Amino acid sequence: MENNLVVQSNDLILATYTMQKTDKELMLACISQIDSRPDAPQVTQDTEFKVSADDIKSLFFGKNSKNEQNIYRDIENASKRLYDVDIVMSLPENKTLQTRLVSSIVYDPDNGEVALSFASRILPYLTQLKANFTKYKLLEIGELSSIHSIRMYELMVMWVNQFQYSKEFSLEEFKHVMSVKDKYKQFGQLKARVIETAINDINENTNYRVSVEYKKKSRGKGYTGLTLRFHKKTLDKLTSKDGTLSPSAIQSIVDSVQFMNDYNDHPSISYEGKQHIDVFKREMVHIIQREPESFNKPKKGLESYLPKVKQGS
Summarize pLDDT for 145-197 with one digit per residue, the tens: 999 999 999 999 999 999 999 999 999 999 999 999 989 999 999 999 999 99
Which pLDDT value is given to residue 308?
75
Confidence of residue 4 (pLDDT cuts 50, 70, 90): confident
Q: How many helices (H) and strands (E) does the chain have?
A: 12, 10
The Cα 277–Cα 264 span in angstroms is 10
pLDDT at position 313 over 50: no
Mean predicted lDDT score pLDDT of the chain: 92
Collapsed DSSP state (helix, strand, coil) of residue 1: coil
Q: How many CA atoms lie within 13 A of 203 on its CB side?
A: 16
Instruction: Using a pLDDT cut of 90, give the percent of the chain over it.
Output: 85
The Cα 286–Cα 293 span in angstroms is 13
Q: What is the pTM of this model?
A: 0.92
Which pLDDT value is given to residue 69?
65
pLDDT at position 66 over 60: no
CB neighbours of 218 closer than 8 A, spacing ≥ 6? none
17-47: string of b/e by CB count within 10 Å (b at 16+)?
bbbebbbbbbbbbbbbbbebeeeeeebeeeb
